[in-house]
Structure 1
Amino acid sequence: MRKLNIYIVVGLLALGNVFTSCEAVKNTNNTQRGAGIGAVSGAVIGGILGNNLGKGGNGAMGAVLGGVIGGVAGGVIGNKMDKQAREIETALPGAQVERVGEGIKLVLGENAVRFDTNKSTLTATAKTNLDKLVPVFNQYPNTNIQIYGYTDSTGTPEYNLKLSDQRAASVKTYLSSKGLAAARFVTTGLGIADPIATNETPEGRSQNRRVEFAITANEKMVQDAQKEAGK
């Protein structure tokens, strides 16, 4: 796979702190990692990873971290998310896929989902790339998908906020038109917030014009995982 980052947090309540260990992660399976995540609260995980990663805390990253279940059930969910993340990478190599906790952060830059200037209408290229994700999303129906739209800093913040919201909504509308349940999606426009590159160059602004997905377990997946963990 071209890029697949996995972030693991292991809690140690007896010492009252949280640590990460490359060697420890190497020697654990996904269920054990999920159990480790369960030792600390989602709020603590979100704060630590948000500070360390330095981006996306109010968008997809924050949403994924807020959905942590933990324990053995969290490990079961993690296994399923591992597989889905790999399938997304295969289906759309240009996507940035990050496995975080028990969810997936998916970033689609202008090379994947492109909009014309000042437009919220999906281009033909954007539709083609979204089509590649539909079979994967269909294969994992028990996930919630939050879509976040972003812009560069060109124009007023108020205008960009509205435009980003319209772009996120366009992605939802298109995916729903392909048979995915609309109830799975929540859209949010974040405008110029959380830039991932400088807005001082054309290249940087291009990177900031993006759509992010937060893919998390829905209630049924959580219940199924808890049943499986209890066996």
Structure 2
Amino acid sequence: MKTRISLLLASAGALAISACTPGDRYGQPQQMNRAQQGAIAGAVVGGVLGATRDKDKNNQGMDAIKGAIVGAAVGGVGGAILDQQQKSLQQQLNNPNIRIVNNGSYLTVVMPESTLFATDSAAVGAQGQNDLYIIARNLNQYPNSRIQVVGHTDSTGSAAYNQDLSERRARSVAGILTAGGVSQGRIATSGRGATQPVASNDTAAGRAQNRRVEILITPTR
């Protein structure tokens, strides 16, 4: 039974892939966008859930396929929404130092210290406030998501100090998003101190990259 279900899931996944990656005019497969990737991921997850949550066990294969189809539809919609929101944010923000990364299932808005804070400060400057209000407006345009604000520092100073600073900076950013109309219930904050560097702390340039706040935007449906 498990083997048969696995084969059915594999078939469903292949069906989703073939449906989402049409060939070009020369018959070569095209690169998938986020919506297509979401559809495939949803198909796999939906297929597994359809198989494992079947109660009567009498038609588990069809349950797996139905789950895959529903999952593909949901995943595809979620991916398309992320594509739209990423494009909208990029158009609205007029700050080349802010990066927006589409990770497939969520967006990450990476804001370096230089756009938000003075050294060792958790008070957001005027330009940073303006950028955050723009982000808040975008989040209100796409209300079906949860937001995690994560502060990061470089390794200069003690671990305890860096942890506290990263937490205070995350709370400051979240406070401005809330002031911009984003529901407080959608937002969670945390600090990582210097534990998650993205570059070497041995150089000034690397430390500058590590001092950042990340806003993670995850669709809820």
Q: Distance in 1 between matches of 2:38 and 2:149?
A: 25
Deviations for 1:141-196, whole angstroms, at most 9, x for unmatched residues?
11111110000101111111111011000001111112211111000100002211
Question: How many equivalent pairs are there?
Answer: 177
One-letter identity of the residue aligned with 2:199: A
Q: Which residue of 22, 37, 46 corresponds with 2:41?
A: 37
1:107 aligns with 2:110: yes
**Structure 1 counterpart of 2:80:** 79
Q: Distance in 1 between matches of 2:196 and 2:72?
A: 31
Alignment TM-score, normalising by the size of structure 1? 0.68
One-letter identity of the residue aligned with 2:81: K
1:132 aligns with 2:139: no
**3-state SS of 2:216 partner:** strand
**3-state SS of 2:193 partner:** coil
One-letter identity of the residue aligned with 1:76: V
Alignment TM-score, normalising by the size of structure 2? 0.71
Cα RMSD of the aligned pairs, angstroms, is 2.9
Alpha-carbon distance, 1:133 to partner:
1.4
Alpha-carbon distance, 1:215 to partner:
0.5
Q: Distance in 2 between matches of 1:156 and 1:79?
A: 43
Runs of 4 or more off by more than 6 Å in structure 1?
Answer: none
Alpha-carbon distance, 1:30 to partner:
5.0
- Preserved CA contact (<8 Å) 1:143 1:184: yes
The structure whose residues are more often helix, as a share, is 2
Bigger relative contact order (CA 8 A; separation at least 6):
1
Q: Which runs of 5+ in 2 are unaligned?
A: 1-7, 12-16, 22-27, 46-69
Pair 1:136–1:197, CA change in 2 (3 A): same
Alpha-carbon distance, 1:29 to partner:
5.8
Pair 1:129–1:200, CA change in 2 (3 A): same
Which structure is larger by alpha-carbon Rg, 1 or 2? Answer: 2
1:162 aligns with 2:164: yes
**Structure 2 counterpart of 1:97:** 100
